[in-house]
A and B are shown apart, each in its own frame.
Chain A
């Protein structure tokens, strides 16, 4: 079978030889991560999940988030559900962890952008 590797933008076409659900050979990968990808994709496909969450009192209304590592494909919408119910207060720092083991996926939900406190609120605090 053929797979498009999604590890990097190069998108190598991987040719995989399968027998009774077992991988005999993988070809076409431009780097070792292609092997890892093909193995995952056949045995237990995983994906990164990214979205945004609501931020209160920040200079931006939304903070982008991602899973700290790829999560099982079937968990994607469960992760999204948890993301939707989340609301955080500014300030946020890039890589802040919002949820540990989000939707029991084994990955954490982390901020991918810093969001400063809006100046009117930071003044109040002073």
Chain B
């Protein structure tokens, strides 16, 4: 019997596993995909919003403000990337300026640092700002992170503290028992006193397994993005938002931790929750809309397009609750934007309001030391790096030319606590394949290393999910 089973290893599931594993509890995380952080967590704008935007009185407002204040310390503790680069909300014309000033008021009420700047002031900082922009709301506490990196390190720690992680394991049904729940998965069954549903776009379906009328539905909203290569002269050094509309935050420009530039997203409701195809129309929309904010974007430097589906809820707020009919069945649903920013606060909220009511939370004795993010060779001094190579020469063998990643680092990543089973997982840990060649050179090498370390044949290695094998037949 488990104390807690968490369904879904996105950033919410990972934070919950991390936080709950500090207590003396038996925890399992069940994830249907082959890697953690492989739903909405891997395809979003990667921003820790300051919390100025959500409407007063919503969970989004409460938890975004709180989450935004928690991140810096968490990332510092885990050695994860966090950069407070700041953001502008940009208004074009009088009507948008009104909305902008309302947002400024909201920021003020929430004790979020802000300044209102004129076109001139904005241009003096960011020279490529569009001529149409008339005013900007400067939000210096807005930060960027790499959401899948944070998720992996949180999970590394949860596992270090005894949490079980079951990847490639899909929950097929849940049955309420006398003292808890029986969770039936594609890989077997488990019993648990408490279930936390963090199933992203599928949270409504998972709730429906125990309650035929879940009280909320989830629509997947597809967001499409462009990714630009690292540029010698970056287009922008901070995040740019248009003023928000009913459809969401609009098309943004976001410099990433690794010096790429994200352009997007669109926001289109789609029927198939798992469909993350790019569309001609979506990409055209991003191209068109970004011109409102920026000029001189070198679109010939696009290295990739991607899209991600955000779980958009029918209640227009996060659904954080215990199911009416099912004590101990907890729901983290509809975690759309600002979900990443709110994630640590969502976990804290769920534990404080619900988990603590169902389980006794006693601190674990002898909590192991924190597992930190893997330190890369590029972050080491030459001496340290040579020391590493002399102990294991594979750290000298560079596999990925674009991102300069060594075989040793890849092997190290594969054998960390959170399993690395796919090419996509290697890419999310260390970035080989995210550079300008997009894996053209390194993919065959990474594939061989992965097959060797996992003791699999080359044709058994997949890109992401089961069935996405790269190679078919040996000659």
Contact = CB atoms under 8 A, between A and B. Distances in A.
Interface of A: 52, 54, 62, 84
Sorted from nearest, which 4 A-B pairs have the closest CB atoms?
A: A52-B475, A84-B475, A54-B475, A62-B475
A56 to B, nearest CB: 14
Contacts of A84: 475
A54 B475 CA distance: 8
4 contacts: A52-B475, A54-B475, A62-B475, A84-B475
Per DSSP, chain B at the interface is loop
A43 B475 CA distance: 34
A49 to B, nearest CB: 15
A52 B475 CA distance: 9
Contacts of B475: 52, 54, 62, 84
Interface of B: 475
Contacts of A52: 475
Nearest to A51: B475
A62 B475 CA distance: 10
A54 B474 CA distance: 10
A62 B474 CA distance: 12
Nearest to B474: A54
A84 B475 CA distance: 7
B443 to A, nearest CB: 17
A22 B236 CA distance: 70
Contacts of A54: 475
B85 to A, nearest CB: 47
B248 to A, nearest CB: 51
A17 B200 CA distance: 71
Nearest to A52: B475
Nearest to A54: B475
Contacts of A62: 475
B56 to A, nearest CB: 65
A15 B167 CA distance: 65
B301 to A, nearest CB: 32
B423 to A, nearest CB: 20
A121 to B, nearest CB: 18
Nearest to A62: B475
B161 to A, nearest CB: 41
B226 to A, nearest CB: 37
A45 B142 CA distance: 70
A62 B444 CA distance: 15
A84 B474 CA distance: 11
A84 to B, nearest CB: 7
A52 B474 CA distance: 12
Nearest to A53: B475
A84 B473 CA distance: 13
A6 to B, nearest CB: 25
B169 to A, nearest CB: 35
A69 B424 CA distance: 45
A66 B447 CA distance: 29
A83 B179 CA distance: 66
B49 to A, nearest CB: 51
A85 B475 CA distance: 10
A89 B16 CA distance: 56
A58 to B, nearest CB: 15
B286 to A, nearest CB: 42
A114 B475 CA distance: 20
B445 to A, nearest CB: 14
A7 B281 CA distance: 46
B383 to A, nearest CB: 30
A80 to B, nearest CB: 11
B458 to A, nearest CB: 10
B345 to A, nearest CB: 53
